Each structure stands twice: as C-alpha cells, then as structure tokens.
Amino acid sequence: MNLELYIARRLIGGGQHKSSISAPIIKIAIAAIAIGILMMLVALATGVGLKYKIREKVAAFNGHIQIYNFDNNASQVSVVPVFLNQDFYPDFNLTDGVRHIQAVATKAGIIRTEDTFEGIIAKGVGPDYDWSPFADFLVAGKLPDYSGPLGEETLVSRMLATRLGLEVGSRYNSFFLKDEDPSRIPNRRRFVVAGIYDSGFEEFDATYIFTDIRHIQRMNGWQADQVGNFEIFLDDFSQIEQKSMDIYGKTLSNLDTQTIENKYYQIFEWIGLFDFNIALIIGIMVLVGGINMVTALLVLILERTPMIGILKALGAPDWSIRKVFLYNAAYLIGIGLLWGNALGLLLIWIQNRYRVFTFPNPEEYYIDYIPVYMDLPTLLLLNLGVLLLCLLMLLLPSHIITRISPVRAIKFD
C-alpha cells in the first residue's frame, strides 16, 4: 500500500470528519452528492423512458421505416400499390439489423352509426402483422386474427368507440370512397368490433381502425399480391437513418423509403429536447455537488494544516500530500454516490413496477404515467463521470497545499 493511501485511510479511520468544525460541512457535501446523483438518475430515467415510450407508440402504428411506391407521394392512404413479390419479403435480406417486415394498406373512410359519424383511416393488415405492441394497448375484447377466411373483425380505439357508442361485439357500417370515381356510390362494409385499444396517442387513436387487408385490396381493385406499403422494424433504432439509406439504395427505382423520424419530425424534434434537459440537470447537479466538495476539501485542509507542515518537514512532496486529500475526497464522494444510487434506483424500481407517479395532463405526453428506463452501462458511466468531474474540480483548490509553509503550519493552531 503506498504512503498516500495509508495516510488517507488513517485520516478516514481516525475520524477527522467527526470534528466539530468539519463534521456538518462534510455531511452537507455527502448529502449534496447523494441528492445530486438521485436527481440525475430520476431525470435520466424519466427522460429516456418517456422518449422510448413515445417512440415505441409511433412505431407501433407505422414501423420504423416504410417502403412504398414513389407515386404515393407519402400520402396517408394507399393509392398506388406495391407488389408483394419483392426480394426483401417475407424474409428481409437487404441489410442486417431488421427484426420484422410486414405488408399493410390504408384507406380513408367514414364510420356511420344511427346517431353520429366519424372520419377514419382503415389500416388493412394480414397474418404477418406484429400485434405485440397492441397487446399492451388492448383494454377490451381481443386482437383480430386474419389468418383464416375473410372476416369482419376490426380493432377500434377507445376514443372512437366512445364517440360512436360502440363496444366489443357491436356491428357498424363503414363507407369508403372509390378512388377512380368519387362521384360513384361509395363502398360499404359492415364490420364488428373484436377489440378496443387505447394507446394514449390521440393523433392515432382518433384516426385508425384495423381490419383485414383483403378488404382494402378488394375496394381498391387490387390483386392479392398487391399491398399499400411495407413496414420495417429495426433491432437498433439509433441506426434508423443509415438503415433507411441502405434499404433505399438496394430497392427498385420505383420504391421510396421514409423513416418515422421524417414522417413525424415535429414529435421527434420535441422528444429530442429531452436530451438537452437531461444534460442541463446533470450539469447543474455536478456543479452543485462539486462546489460542496470543494468547500469540504478546503475545511479538511484547514483542519489538517499542522499535519501538512509535518509531512512537508519530513520531505513529502506537495503532490503526494495533495493526493492524500484527493483520496479522502474520493471516499466521501463514493459514500454520497452509494446513498444516492440506492435511493434513486429504489425510486425508479417502485415507479417501474407500481407506476406511482402520473401525468396531470396525459394527453400532452401521450401516456398517463411517467415511464422510466435505466440500463447498467448508463448507470456505470454516469457514476464514473460524476466521480471524475468532481475530482477534477478538486484539483484546483488542492493546489493551496503547495502554498503552505512547513514552519508556519507546524505552529498553526
């Protein structure tokens, strides 16, 4: 064990922080570090959790990347079909990192009941559709199954069901304009409510119902091998732009790609601000904790001035003495980090399991509770960063040790 560590351990074990002068200041410094890391963990977990949850909801309705015919011009409804017979379907092989691909089609229409009506977009899906996100959204009934003969089952949102007075098992009439001649009598379809979902995303809940894609194909006069577009889900969302360019470069010239970041750029610009808020909170908390540790270090140096003089008189270099106090400060920071992590992770676990804290205005955040997310690499990086930044802030005040005269320090009282 080197000399600096030995002396630092003797300082800690000797109870220097129990002194009447330094005890309250050191306790405040430790509390500041603990509260700071607690606030950082909460800010990071809630900000990232909310960003991930909103992103997942947008992707549930659109996929991460869409492939469609250029002539659609990014229309909300399917106008010009795409053939199913593609090199990338049903087994996607254009690039790696793709988790799932599914074929869909959309068509605008109206649901008419005896008392009211609502404009909707019917999203036609088939047996390849990934219903897993909607398992969390489902509030009544069941998810439709379109693997058998053409049926009438649909999935509607709770918002539309409330407005139209529908419930599970209700039958209703839908009307869809004929694209080739809007003046003609519209297509009429009679559906039944198989399930009701609530994603909390008003923009989608007020618009989308889900039905068998074969209804859309028949109303549009398409063949069984024609669909509106393909939706692609990635393993790693952070690679969405690169994967979109790769896919675009490897598909036919009449096909275009679009990411949900581009399609819903306002939403993603908004959630992108979460990163700035998180960074701002972390920066403020590190600054507050560092200032408190600087104060504690200066008090420790003041209390141990005679010891510093003795060490200098015995020939100890300034940097070795500085390291003694820096090791001691690192120990105190570690105590603060330990308590802060324990309380912060406990709070995150409680929120993740029991959803204690909710939004007063969930319609503004597309979710009624505050989601949290924390992974081990982020947790370790945050703690290591706080420790290193605080120690860097202590380098300057520890320089005061070099200005202490051994003769005066030994006489210091």
CA-based nearest residue to 255, from 58, 93, 98, 80: 80
Residue 319 contacts by C-beta under 8 Å, 6 or more apart in sequence? none
- Identity (one letter) of the amino acid at 288? V
Chain-wide mean pLDDT for the chain? 88
pLDDT digits (tens, 9 = 90+) for 355-386: 999 988 887 888 889 999 999 999 999 999 99
Confidence of residue 123 (pLDDT cuts 50, 70, 90): very high
Taking only the tens place, the pLDDT of each residue in 41-86 is: 999 999 999 999 999 999 999 999 999 998 887 678 888 999 999 9
All structural domains of the chain with their residue ranges: 3-57+268-411, 82-227
pLDDT of res. 160:
96
Rg (CA), the chain: 31
* 8 Å CB contact between 350 and 45: no
Contacts of 249 (CB under 8 A, 6+ apart): none
CB 282 within 8 A of CB 289: no
pLDDT of residue 86: 92
- Between the CA atoms of 153, 180, 121 and 235, what dihedral angle is there, to the nearest 10 degrees? 90
Pairing of the two strands 153-157 and 187-197: parallel
Q: What is the mean pLDDT of residues 346-350?
A: 96
Query: pLDDT per residue over 286-332, tens digit each?
Result: 998 888 888 888 888 887 778 777 777 777 788 888 888 888 888 88
Alpha-carbon gap, residue 363 to 344, rounded angstroms: 27
CB atoms within 10 A of CB 132: 11
Cβ-based neighbours of 139, under 8 Å, separated by 6 or more:
158, 196, 197, 198
Q: Of 98-102, 107-111, 317-321, 345-349, which range is least confident?
A: 317-321
Q: What integer pLDDT is reported at residue 180 of this predicted model?
A: 54
Task: Report pLDDT for 335.
Answer: 93
pLDDT score of 226: 95
**Which of 78, 388, 120, 398 has its CA nearest to residue 219?**
78
Angle separating helix axes 318-354 and 22-62, nearest 10 degrees: 50
Question: How does residue 19 score in pLDDT terms, banded at 50, 70 and 90?
Answer: very low
For residue 157 the two structure tokens come to 């949102």
Give the residue from 54, 88, 55, 53 showing the smallest Cα distance to 229: 88
DSSP 238: G
Of the candidate ranges 166-175, 234-243, 287-296, the one whose mean pLDDT is the lowest:
287-296
Residue 208 scores a pLDDT above 90:
yes
The answer to whether the CB of 96 falls within 8 A of the CB of 247 is no
Task: Give the whole-number percent of the chain exceeding pLDDT 70.
Answer: 91
Q: What is the pLDDT of residue 322?
A: 84
What is the mean predicted confidence (pLDDT) over 186-205? Answer: 93
